[in-house]
Amino acid sequence: MPTAFVTGASGFIGSEVARQLIDAGWQVTASRRASSKTKMMDGYPVEWVEADLHDPQSIAAAMPPNVDGVFHVAGNLTFWSREYDAQYRDNVLGTRAMVEAALEVGAGRFIFTSSGAAYGPQRKMLRETMSSKALLSKVNYDRTKWLAEQEVLYGVQRGLDAVILNPAAVLGPRDEKFTVLFERVAKGQLPAAMPAKTSFCHIREVGRAHLSAYEKGRCGENYLLGGPNTTQLELLQVIAEVAGAKKPKYEIPAPLFFAIGAAVEAVAAMRKKRPAITRSFVHAFTQCWYTCSDKAIEELGYDPPSLHEIAQDTLDWLRAEGRLPAARNAAPAAASA
């Protein structure tokens, strides 16, 4: 039975990776903080360990002997400047520690979950052949994910067998962030969308790509994992169609969105509270993140679903969780083809 060490298994993407590994017959050891909630792995036989993900020795001690695969999924996605130092420690120094630990124990393969954001703001569709502009980005997350990739590539130079995955915006069942949008659209409570242009991918396929990367990915290579390239407004309209709800019609103008972000951040600073949105958040969601997944499709067998399938699967899960009523007047199944 192959063995895996997974970080971030208490979160959205990490739990999907861990679940799929277990379903494929792997024995999974997963790191967690003492305060971590592990509900997403309920019912799955995971060996949980507490490890300091900034300390290579602590990580190495927590890894199974002769571990076959290390899946480093954990990351810090804050957009608040007061948390930037922690974000750098988690995303960059944490990845450095993971690489050192993997080299120390002689891990069979290292799969790193980066982000399309590591390429920084581009004027064209993201492709692996592009040079990153992340260090020029106004978004700290972009910068730290690119710097984390450099830690992985430095490890490759020293003998680490590593593959880097770059998912776009990941949606699907069990997500506790974007599913709020699905709920509000399904209830007719969201008339307008952010002025976002991005690539939306399904959590199931992103998880499957991690296993494929272990089996088929080329050492030192990046693989962009995208999906339908569209606006958030179109996504919300598809959700409404599948839910049988009123479709949102408006997109918040970018200048107004910037003004809202600045105002919310200023008020939060006066109240000494964490802002719901920030200027950095607005910068991130007003860039165009259209993504080409051809390399992952050809080499990993990546198979990005349609927006309709993403919406249907997510809404079905919300209904199963009792967060939405049973479907009424939903679009016919043929509409999702």
Q: Residue ranges per domain, the chain?
A: 3-170+201-226+291-305
Write down the architecture of domain 3-170+201-226+291-305 according to CATH.
Answer: 3-Layer(aba) Sandwich (3.40)
Position 50, amino acid: E
Using a 10 angstrom Cβ sphere, with 0-12 exposed, 13-18 middle and 19 or more buried, the burial of residue 162 is buried
Sign of the Cα pseudo-torsion (144, 150, 155, 156, in order): positive
pLDDT per residue of the chain (337 residues) written in tens, 0 to 9: 999 999 999 999 999 999 999 999 999 999 998 888 899 999 999 999 999 999 999 999 999 989 999 999 999 999 999 999 999 999 999 999 999 999 999 999 999 999 999 999 998 999 999 999 999 999 999 999 999 999 999 999 999 999 999 999 999 999 988 899 999 999 999 999 999 999 999 999 999 999 999 999 999 999 999 999 999 999 999 999 999 999 999 999 999 999 999 999 999 988 888 999 999 999 999 999 999 999 999 999 999 999 999 999 999 999 999 999 887 654 444 333 2
pTM for the complete prediction?
0.94
User: In this structure, what is the dihedral angle of CA atoms 53, 111, 203, 199, given to the nearest 10 degrees?
Assistant: 110
Phi and psi at residue 131, to the nearest 5°: -80, 135
